[in-house]
Amino acid sequence: MKVQDLAEACERSSRTIYRDLKTLNESGIPNGFDKETNGYRIQRGFFMPPVELTFEEAMAMVALLERVGDDTQIPFLETAQIVAEKIRSQLPPALLREVETFDDCVQIDLARRSVDDSDRDVYRTMRRAIADKRLLHCRYDSVHSKRDDASETFEFRPYALWYCQRAWYAVGKRSDRDDARRLKLNRFTFVKRTEQPYHIPDDFDLQAFQGNAWRMIRGDDEHHVAIRFTPQFAETVSETRWHPTQQAEWHDDESVTLTFTVDGLDEIVWWVLGYGPGAKVLQPPELTDRVRELALATCAQY
């Protein structure tokens, strides 16, 4: 950056910036004027060796860090954009110019979320608690609990942070529950760190905790699901990997049957309904009945 740019960014005079640059040098942080970039910079290799990236690698890193880290997509990852700037600063000028040429030609759109930072402090507290293994005192307002329960404080041992379906969740053990739970961060009404240590079980695995849930709500029973899609939807629906257990069987009329093994039907039933008459449940009978009941209830509103 040029001195006038630094002065503007730091809200200081150019004279102060020159003095600060000198102070940085005297304190062991080498910096100076770079004729190649026509600005001041910390010497290459001081914090880390120069990053030797290809154009494709640089574009991939910048796109992920700056686009996916956008606060409207995955909140609380805005520091990823700082990492992107550090990577940019290490790129050779010719490669940097090439990357910047394509900056506006790359767009990544995930499922948008409501712009609400009310759980930012909860996120930071959870993240630090997991890093330091320190117990938390919490209150939580569950949509399924009685209002009186929300005022009760419990001890919480967070095992992992999990971003899924437009929101952050903490997975861990509540002192008033027998098994690990998934708690949505924006429903915590009180979180306080203690200095009491705890231990994350060696056998805890987030993927195992999730099991074969369709998305995130794991049911008690395993179901083998088969759904036949009409030719109108067959190609589109088969192009996406909806579930790790997904299998496809194509038919002569260009329809396709997708099969899955899922724990619980509460989530997949709404996914099926989203395809309307384009999808027909072949099995299990429990899912067929639920789709029929909900479809009739929908018709009854019109």
Whether the pTM exceeds 0.85: the reply is no
Q: What is the CATH number of domain 222-300?
A: 3.30.70
Residues of the chain with CATH 3.30.70: 222-300
pLDDT tens for residues 203-220? Answer: 999 988 999 999 988 888
State residue 182's pLDDT score.
Answer: 92
pLDDT, one tens digit per residue, over 143-168 is: 765 555 556 899 999 999 998 878 89
pLDDT at 285: 97
For the structural domain made of 120-209, what CATH number should be given? 2.30.30
CA end-to-end distance (rounded Å), the chain:
63
pLDDT band at 49 (very low <50, low <70, confident <90, very high): low
The secondary structure of 9-38, three-state, reads: HHCCCHHHHHHHHHHHHHCCCCEEEECCCC
Query: What are 283's strand-pairing partners?
Result: 226
In the chain, which residues fall in CATH 2.30.30?
A: 120-209
Spatial CA neighbour of 125 closest among 171, 89, 158, 163: 158
pLDDT at 114 over 80: no
On average, the pLDDT of the chain sits at 88
Each residue of 71-112: pLDDT tens digit?
667 888 878 888 888 888 878 888 888 888 877 777 777 777
Region label for 111, one of left (φ > 0), alpha (ψ between -120 and 50) or beta (otherwise) = beta
Per residue in 262-280, pLDDT tens?
999 999 999 999 999 999 9
Query: Once rounded to an integer, what is the mean pLDDT over residues 173-195?
Result: 92
Cis? peptide before 93, omega within 30° of 0: no
pLDDT value for 293: 97
**Which residues are within 8 A (CB) of 56 and not within 5 positions of it... i.e. 6 or more apart?**
none
Task: Please answer whether residues 180 and 123 qualify as being in contact, where contact means their C-beta atoms are separated by less than 8 angstroms.
Answer: no
Q: Give per-residue pLDDT as tens, 226-262.
A: 999 999 999 999 999 999 999 999 999 999 999 999 9
- Mean pLDDT value of segment 182-190: 93
Is the pLDDT reported for residue 118 higher than 70?
Answer: yes
d(CA 130, CA 191): 14
Would you state the pLDDT for residue 286?
Answer: 96
pLDDT for res 44: 76
Q: What is the pLDDT of residue 76?
A: 81
Question: pLDDT-derived band of residue 35, with 50, 70 and 90 as boundaries?
Answer: confident
3-state DSSP assignment of residue 157: strand
Query: What does DSSP assign to residue 63?
Result: I
